[in-house]
Structure 1
Amino acid sequence: MALTDQSTRIRAGEELDAAIIDPYLKSQIPGLTGEPRISQFPGGASNLTYLLEYPEQEFVLRRPPFGHKAKSAHDMGREFRILNRLNAGFPYCPKAYVHCTDESVLGAEFYVMERVKGIILRSEMPAELNFDAGQTRTLCESFIDKLVELHKVDYQACGLGDLGKPEGYVQRQIGGWSDRYEKALTPDAPLWEPVRAWLKDKMPADHHKPGIVHNDYRFDNVILAPHNPMQIIGVLDWELTTIGDPLMDLGNTLAYWIEAGDPPPVQLMRRQPSNAPGMLTRQEFADYYAERAGIEIKSIDFYYCYGLFRLAGIVQQIYYRYYHGQTQDKRFAQFVHMNKLLEQMSLQVIAQSQL
């Protein structure tokens, strides 16, 4: 059990008052007894995530960061609704129990869901798992299978037909991320002009059947079964989920997928063990996805390049806050170098592309 994702003590200024949350939850969830033990999960740069341990049941509470009132960026109700409805068609997302819109309770909206207890992989494969290359490949294929399964979910049957607008999705993503990137530019950041022009020129039509797009599908957002770590039992972080072209979601995931043969500077960006012996390469990942999805992907170049540009946009938005003194987190000082590296990776894709 030492491998299961652990919560820690609560960070200063982010305390959760048990005297307030306990009676509220008991008024909403029948049968709760005892007092909750409250701790905090250390990950996540966006919403705050807490573990509430009752004698017979464990819950996870999610709320926006303190002091941030931009509801559109931390829409608790939207995430609650996705979990509540999607679970019927995709049983790997946690069940959502309570959504509180009364900000007088905790000072912000929040929601409470079940805790799915298991293993979450970070940058390195844990030695305790003792996986050989064959087991790692099985895990990798299972990871892709879940993405394919998500993209095949009948979102209309789940009551999520109004979650997004699939028509024109590809064009909106390219234009939207270009606009967001320009707004986050700093004097030391690359302009990405050749890449942005290429993406606009090579943009495919919306000919793929629309599906649920997770928008942040990585190994550190999936939960592995404690007693069978090759089995995925949960998928987390539905904050960015929408309806769109599934291959754009594949591109997002490939942008995070740093393989064993990538050069050392690229390896420094890795946040998951995608380089471990047995893990598929990006091309093998896409080929396996296409086979399982029953589609043909003639080239992943556009989707991978889009994923890299989108990731650079996210990185630059964070760096912009650091550059202008809106955050003092020293980790973000290096993000402009990550942005430049992502541009070089994109230019390399374009130089070798047959599109």
Structure 2
Amino acid sequence: MTKPLDTIPVRRGEELNLVKLRTFLQKNVEDLPDESLEVLQFSAGHSNLTYQLKVGEWEAVLRRPPLGPVAPKAHDMEREFKIISEIQPLFSPAPRPILFSDDESIVGAPFFLMERKRGVVIDSSFPDGVEAPPEICNQLSHIMVENLVNLHSIDYTKTGLIAISKPEGFLERQVHGWISRYQRAKTDELKEAEHVMKWLAEHIPTQKYATVIHYDYKFNNAMFNDDLNQMVGLFDWEMTTVGDPLADLGVALSYWNQPDDPELLRSGLGSSAITVMDGFISRKEFIELYGEKSGRDVTDMNFYMTFAYFKLAAIVQQIYYRYKMGQTQDERFSQFNSYVKSLMTHSSHTVAI
């Protein structure tokens, strides 16, 4: 099967100092081959910078924060490294951690290394050579539900996550925290945003559950085996914490486009999610299947979906703010303000699930 080309030459302005990095690896990685360092960049993602490192037969993935100023407590590489260190033994799709460094002289920021997994990554389309009839799309839908349920079944009290988490009051902190983040990064006045922020603050439900949550669960953060019947990788654990699993479900579904979604909602990040293809289950079916497999009450999902679209809008707004302020030159972000408006408009109505 042809594998997707998930790496590209390093983007201009995001290069690494290969001499410093090679010296660091020589000192800190056992049995590193005596060969030159090759670096490529992963093309997906709009936040942290992620690179493939290769020295002979040795491979790893390096993650560091984005260029320019970052929001307080955001892009915490040490925290993400600790999270995957705790979760990987209990949830095999998580990558194996290798090392963390806070020496900013190496790549310009704190960073960590993790294993380089191999498999099929699905974004807005299937890779060339991959057959995906409707029954495969349905199968992938069920795999996504099952792995989310499995992640939420981890007993976090038996892991080190209990020391860096505070599940009590999670929803209140999230709602007010993301409202604050959006307001700090605001570049345009949107009446829809004001309406959504007021509604969310007044309708926070009582939190019933606390589990490990990924909080950025979507297809292009996952990797599957060649037969597309098993998830073999799940990445981008930056937002992971212990919190309300229904908030995690809502975030996952905010990326789960349907054919009847507004065009800008489907194509705001460049192209529609793969889930618009025949065979993928609807958001409503995803919710019902999750409720059935997890045993959790999903009757409040309208709130969680509304919050998820607002949270996604706030994240996109933060990225657009960095572009607007000249902190990044990546032209992919130049029209993100239109996507923010579309997300705010969508979340300002009663969300159809």
> 1:310 matched to which residue of 2?
311
> 1:260 matched to which residue of 2?
259
Alpha-carbon deviations, 1:289-310, whole Å to 9, x = none? 1111112212421111110111
Structure-2-length-normalised TM-score:
0.90
Q: 1:38 to 1:276 in 2, by over 3 A?
A: same
Alpha-carbon deviations, 1:298-347, whole Å to 9, x = none? 24211111101111111222233344454454443432222222222223
Alpha-carbon deviations, 1:35-81, whole Å to 9, x = none? 23222222233222121223333111122334547773222111111
Q: How far, CA to CA, are the matches of 1:145 and 1:164 in structure 2?
A: 24
Q: How far, CA to CA, are the matches of 1:110 and 1:297 in structure 2?
A: 38
Q: Is the 8 A contact 1:6 1:41 kept in 2?
A: yes
> 1:239 matched to which residue of 2?
238
Q: How far, CA to CA, are the matches of 1:186 and 1:65 in structure 2?
A: 20
Q: How far, CA to CA, are the matches of 2:265 and 2:71 in structure 1?
A: 33
Q: 1:112 to 1:271 in 2, by over 3 A?
A: farther
How far the C-alpha of 1:170 sits from its partner, in A, is 0.9
- Aligned residue runs from structure 1 range 1-355, under 5 A: 2-35=2-35, 36-68=37-69, 72-126=73-127, 128-208=129-209, 210-225=210-225, 227-269=226-268, 270-349=271-350
In structure 2, runs of 5+ residues without a counterpart are none
Q: How far, CA to CA, are the matches of 1:144 and 1:47 in structure 2?
A: 26
Q: 1:72 to 1:346 in 2, by over 3 A?
A: closer
Alpha-carbon deviations, 1:161-204, whole Å to 9, x = none? 12221101111111112222222233443352332233233211
Q: Is the 8 A contact 2:6 2:44 kept in 1?
A: no
Q: How far, CA to CA, are the matches of 2:228 and 2:169 in structure 1?
A: 39
Q: 1:81 to 1:307 in 2, by over 3 A?
A: same
Q: How far, CA to CA, are the matches of 1:321 and 1:32 in structure 2?
A: 37
Alpha-carbon deviations, 1:94-146, whole Å to 9, x = none? 11111122333333322111100111111123452221111111111101111
Q: 1:239 to 1:143 in 2, by over 3 A?
A: same
Q: Is the 8 A contact 2:123 2:220 kept in 1?
A: yes
Higher deviation after alignment, 329-338 or 238-247: 329-338
Counterpart residue identity of residue 105, structure 1? I
Counterpart residue identity of residue 215, structure 1? Y
Identity of counterpart residues, as a percentage?
Answer: 38
Q: 1:347 to 1:68 in 2, by over 3 A?
A: closer
Q: Is the 8 A contact 1:218 1:272 kept in 2?
A: no
Q: Is the 8 A contact 1:189 1:336 kept in 2?
A: no
Q: How far, CA to CA, are the matches of 2:314 and 2:70 in structure 1?
A: 22
- Where 2:224 maps in the other structure, the secondary structure is strand
Q: 1:254 to 1:24 in 2, by over 3 A?
A: same
In structure 1, runs of 5+ residues without a counterpart are none
Q: 1:207 to 1:15 in 2, by over 3 A?
A: same
Q: How far, CA to CA, are the matches of 1:101 and 1:234 in structure 2?
A: 26
- Where 1:145 maps in the other structure, the secondary structure is helix
Q: 1:18 to 1:263 in 2, by over 3 A?
A: closer
Q: How far, CA to CA, are the matches of 1:214 and 1:335 in structure 2?
A: 24
Q: How far, CA to CA, are the matches of 2:340 and 2:236 in structure 1?
A: 23
Q: Is the 8 A contact 1:5 1:120 kept in 2?
A: no
Q: Is the 8 A contact 2:67 2:328 kept in 1?
A: no
Higher deviation after alignment, 323-332 or 83-92: 323-332
Structure-1-length-normalised TM-score:
0.90
Q: 1:115 to 1:196 in 2, by over 3 A?
A: same
Counterpart residue identity of residue 235, structure 1? L
Higher deviation after alignment, 16-25 or 254-263: 16-25
Q: Is the 8 A contact 1:86 1:155 kept in 2?
A: no
Higher deviation after alignment, 147-156 or 276-285: 147-156
Q: How far, CA to CA, are the matches of 2:252 and 2:134 in structure 1?
A: 21
- Where 1:61 maps in the other structure, the secondary structure is strand
Higher deviation after alignment, 158-167 or 282-291: 158-167
Q: How far, CA to CA, are the matches of 1:6 and 1:333 in structure 2?
A: 23
